[in-house]
Amino acid sequence: MADISAASVPTPPPATRRGARAWAGQVALYGLFALAIGVFSRWPPYHHLAPDMALIKLSLVHAGKPVGDCRKQTPEELARLPPNMRAPTTCPRERSPVTVELDIDGASAARVVAPPSGLSHDGASALYQRLPVKAGERLIQVRLRDDTRSASPSYSAERRVTLAPAQVLVIDFDAEKGGITLQ
Amino acid sequence: MPSWNALDRVFDRAFGSTHNPLRQLGTLAFLAFWLLAISGIWLYVELDTSAGGAYESIAALSRATGSPGWLMRSLHRHAADAFVVFTGLHLLRELLLGRWRNFRRFSWLTGTALLPLMAVSAIGGFWLNWDRLGQFSAIATAEWLDALPLLAHPLARNFIGAAAVGDRLFSLFVFVHLGVPLLLVFGLWFHIQRITRAAVFPPRMLALGTLGTLLLLCIVAPVQGQGPADLARAPQVLSLDWLLLFLHPLMYATSAGFTWALTLGSFAALLSLPMWPLRAPAEPVAVVDPDNCNGCRRCFADCPYAAVTMVPHPNGRSGRQLAVVDADLCASCGICAGSCPSSTPFRSGDGLVTGIDMPQSPIGTLRRQLRDGLAASTAARPVVVFSCAQGADAARSAAPDTLVLPLICTGQLPPSFVEYALRDGAAGVVVASCRDGGCAFRLGARWTAERLAGQREPHLRADVAREQVLHVEADAGEDAVLCSQVEAMRERLKQIKAARAID
């Protein structure tokens, strides 16, 4: 009787039995995987800031002045109010937006208008802006206006600074320190 | 998708289909996640969770070359990279293979929802190290979030000076990097809820190979810190992990608004995919015939999508159960019909009604096609090919002596049909399924192989001449493989015939 073995091709044989080419293929593909992860987890280097650049961060939180003056209420207005709310004067709740202008070496570098926060626009204004600038000696001039009733700035600061490469200069506002701060 | 299938075959040649990483991307992502969990727990024990001490505690690990902590530090990063790579490829594969609608919608949506959790977990991990890369990532993330009008005060103000970063802020970092991965675990559990026998670990050899590769990478290219964070200085050049932090450079190269539009747009597009086209035709689902269902639970055990449940049989007999199909979960694969003992073609009667069947391709119709095809064949003893509609196209194997009977999935074939075909005049039977790991319905190829090998019920009877039966695994696009195997079967059958003639 002729020898006829059972016919079956259920699955490709495991790699261990498929010879050197399969092993080489596995090594190559595992290597490719490792290479992809090893390389792209660190390369190419990312140049976030050029070597001759510094960074100015213009960031402050400041509550603007009310948009209008307080005024005396008329007797009719007071009469319409509940007795416990009859204050003689009334003030507008909404605050002025805070406008900050930054000049570097006499040229305008930024002008930011930060609206008051809150649904009734009665909260503090906040702003944050990053400005990469050339390192070196710079004349920094900052003006802050927080009152729509006045055209002139409420606070201003001027300082000549020497910025090292990669240095971060933060322009902030601190009422206890007299207003605009550079640090 | 022909290009992906071609890539599958390249990997098949090296790994075999069972261990092909491209067919195991989901389980490999799970493996990476387990490695992240183990190495993460180790690092958390070592980490000084304060703004002042975090960097030094991790830097000490980096200096202790060869120590377990040194290895864990690199493994944690590279496992995170691998997690992102495997998940991205897993998503791409399912996308290219069109696996997002109908019964797969739940898995697609829950999988997509995991992407933002992954991103937050990955990016948040860099902050804990609090080196210059962590400083860059934390500030970039804050500036990105500040582009949304959500908060009254910019988050980035938390990083305008060293005094601003205190231990309380660091507690938030810890919360993000521990809390969000816990949500990820919960999300992963949801993601695999609607599939039975969900694999959360790859085959052992593949797991060992992947782990070995990652460990080797950790030894060859250990991860190093990039100097302690210094908020008075902006990082100039960074060794960036592009796989995990690519959003930051993208934002600085374009704008925060563009990056938000791109990420939210991509996320919305992925989420909306299952809704298109609006009128996608749904295949009829499996139907149970209570008179022919004996409650054996085989369909319940074999269904790859947990669409079958068992309830008390309405005939009221004590202990008797009835299969019930959840139409929302049913994949219309027919694997349940192949598992049903009532699907045997040896049952008497002209009409064959089984316990659970596919309306678009009933078992009774298959028996009639087999009978009619064998009767009409011009060959004295033709070859019968039961082929999978999702796999290789058997049309190329068609010949006057070959009867091709397509199935929704080879798992739809009751093994008794093989014996029935041989008894009814077929010289041999070829059962063509997809490759292991390549089944469009997950388990059809596996169940077919086990049923034909007698390892799973219903099984092919032991006294069926195995030399007349051939099980071929060939994916879509591997028509030539199937064709050559059918041709080989013809030659084998000629040898058998000749051998019997000699006897």
**Across the interface, which of B14, B239, B466 has its CB nearest the CB of A45?**
B239
Quick check: is A118 in a domain?
A: yes
Taking contacts as CB-CB distances below 8 angstroms, the residues of chain B near A48 are 136, 234-238, 252
**Beta-carbon separation of A15 and B221 below 8 A:** no
Fold adopted by B2-275:
Cytochrome Bc1 Complex; Chain C (1.20.810)
Taking contacts as CB-CB distances below 8 angstroms, the residues of chain A near B220 are 38
Quick check: is A17 in a domain?
A: yes
Interface of B with A in 454-493 (CB under 8 A): 466-473, 485, 489, 492
**Beta-carbon separation of A34 and B209 below 8 A:** no
**Beta-carbon separation of B468 and A7 below 8 A:** yes
**Across the interface, which of B85, B152, B495 has its CB nearest the CB of A126?**
B152
**Beta-carbon separation of B467 and A30 below 8 A:** no
For chain B, the structural domain boundaries read 2-275, 287-502
Q: What does the pLDDT look like over A93-145, one tens digit per residue?
A: 999 999 999 999 999 999 999 999 999 999 999 999 999 999 999 999 999 99
| Burial of B500 from C-beta contacts in 10 A (0-12 / 13-18 / 19+) | exposed
8 A C-beta contact, residue B125 and residue B80: yes
pLDDT grade for A15, boundaries at 50, 70 and 90: very low
**Beta-carbon separation of A12 and B223 below 8 A:** no
Q: Are A107 and A165 in a shared domain?
A: yes
8 A C-beta contact, residue B398 and residue B379: no
Please report the sign of the dihedral spanned by the C-alpha atoms of residue B169, residue B175, residue B180, residue B181: positive
Quick check: is A134 in a domain?
A: yes
Residue B280 has a pLDDT of: 65
CB atoms under 10 Å from CB of A25, counted, come to 18
Residue B37 has a pLDDT of: 97
Asked whether the predicted pLDDT for residue B278 surpasses 70, the reply is no
Question: Which residue range(s) make up the domain with A110?
Answer: 53-68+94-182
Residue A18 has a pLDDT of: 63
**Beta-carbon separation of B152 and A118 below 8 A:** yes
Quick check: is A39 in a domain?
A: yes
Q: Are A100 and A137 in a shared domain?
A: yes
Among B62, B143, B237, which would you mutate to test the A interface (most chain A Cβ atoms within 10 Å of its Cβ)?
B237
Taking contacts as CB-CB distances below 8 angstroms, the residues of chain B near A57 are 160
CA distance B232 to chain A (A): 5
**Beta-carbon separation of B19 and A14 below 8 A:** yes
**Across the interface, which of A13, A36, A170 has its CB nearest the CB of B161?**
A170
B330 contact partners, CB below 8 Å, separation of at least 6 = B103, B285, B286, B305, B307
Interface of B with A in 96-115 (CB under 8 A): none
Three-class SS of residue B325? strand
Asked whether the predicted pLDDT for residue B178 surpasses 90, the reply is yes
Does B243 reach chain A within 8 Å, measured CB to CB?
yes
Asked whether the predicted pLDDT for residue A83 surpasses 80, the reply is yes
Closest CA to B396 of B495, B469, B467, B476: B476
Residue B281 or residue A149, greater confidence: A149
Nearest-Cα residue of chain A relative to residue B253: A48
Q: Are A98 and A38 in a shared domain?
A: no
What whole-number distance in Å separates Cα of residue B408 and Cα of residue B413?
A: 9
Q: Are A145 and A113 in a shared domain?
A: yes
CA distance B206 to chain A (A): 10
Does B435 reach chain A within 8 Å, measured CB to CB?
yes
The phi and psi torsions of A139 (rounded to 5 degrees) equal: -100, 115
**Beta-carbon separation of A10 and B217 below 8 A:** no
Nearest-Cα residue of chain A relative to residue B77: A41
**Beta-carbon separation of A126 and B154 below 8 A:** yes
User: What is the average per-residue pLDDT within B314-327?
Assistant: 91
Q: Are A119 and A146 in a shared domain?
A: yes
8 A C-beta contact, residue B366 and residue B405: yes
Q: Are A31 and A107 in a shared domain?
A: no
Quick check: is A6 in a domain?
A: no
Residue B497 has a pLDDT of: 87
Residue B349 has a pLDDT of: 78
Nearest-Cα residue of chain B relative to residue A24: B14
Residue B461 has a pLDDT of: 96
Taking contacts as CB-CB distances below 8 angstroms, the residues of chain B near A170 are 160-161
Q: Are A119 and A101 in a shared domain?
A: yes
Query: What torsion, rounded to 10 degrees, do the Cα atoms A85, A87, A90, A95 define?
Result: -70
Asked whether the predicted pLDDT for residue B56 surpasses 50, the reply is yes
8 A C-beta contact, residue B29 and residue B83: yes
Does B239 reach chain A within 8 Å, measured CB to CB?
yes
Quick check: is A75 in a domain?
A: no
Among A11, A16, A59, which would you mutate to test the B interface (most chain B Cβ atoms within 10 Å of its Cβ)?
A11
Does B7 reach chain A within 8 Å, measured CB to CB?
no
Q: Are A99 and A163 in a shared domain?
A: yes
CA distance B274 to chain A (A): 31
Does B89 reach chain A within 8 Å, measured CB to CB?
no
Taking contacts as CB-CB distances below 8 angstroms, the residues of chain A near B492 are 4, 7
**Beta-carbon separation of A4 and B467 below 8 A:** yes
B268 contact partners, CB below 8 Å, separation of at least 6 = none
Quick check: is A84 in a domain?
A: no
**Beta-carbon separation of A49 and B235 below 8 A:** yes
Residue B1 has a pLDDT of: 66
Closest CA to B333 of B358, B302, B298, B351: B358
Q: What does the pLDDT look like over B13-48, one tens digit per residue?
A: 999 999 999 999 999 999 999 999 999 999 999 999
Among A1, A18, A48, A57, which would you mutate to test the B interface (most chain B Cβ atoms within 10 Å of its Cβ)?
A48
Q: What does the pLDDT look like over B77-130, one tens digit per residue?
A: 999 999 999 999 999 999 999 899 889 999 999 999 999 999 999 999 999 999
What whole-number distance in Å separates Cα of residue B141 and Cα of residue B113?
A: 20
What whole-number distance in Å separates Cα of residue B24 and Cα of residue B46?
A: 33
Quick check: is A99 in a domain?
A: yes
Q: Token digits for A124? A: 């503090």
| DSSP structure class, residue B152 | S
Inter-chain contacts counted by CB atoms under 8 A, chains A and B: 186
Asked whether the predicted pLDDT for residue A5 surpasses 60, the reply is no
Look up the CATH number of the domain holding residue A147.
2.60.40
Q: What does the pLDDT look like over A27-50, one tens digit per residue?
A: 999 999 999 999 999 999 999 999
Number of domains in chain A: 2
| DSSP structure class, residue B333 | -
Q: What does the pLDDT look like over B130-149, one tens digit per residue?
A: 999 999 999 999 999 999 98
The Cα-based distances of B113 to B107, B110, B128, B270 in angstroms read 10, 5, 24, 9
**Beta-carbon separation of B233 and A168 below 8 A:** yes
User: What is the average per-residue pLDDT within B191-197?
Assistant: 93
Q: Are A64 and A142 in a shared domain?
A: yes
User: What is the average per-residue pLDDT within B257-277?
Assistant: 95
CA distance A6 to chain B (A): 4
Output the CA angle A29-A31-A34, nearest 5 degrees.
115
Nearest-Cα residue of chain A relative to residue B502: A1
Q: Are A168 and A104 in a shared domain?
A: yes
Residue B84 has a pLDDT of: 98
Q: What does the pLDDT look like over A161-172, one tens digit per residue?
A: 999 999 999 999
Q: Are A25 and A64 in a shared domain?
A: no
Cis preceding linkage at B284, omega within 30: no
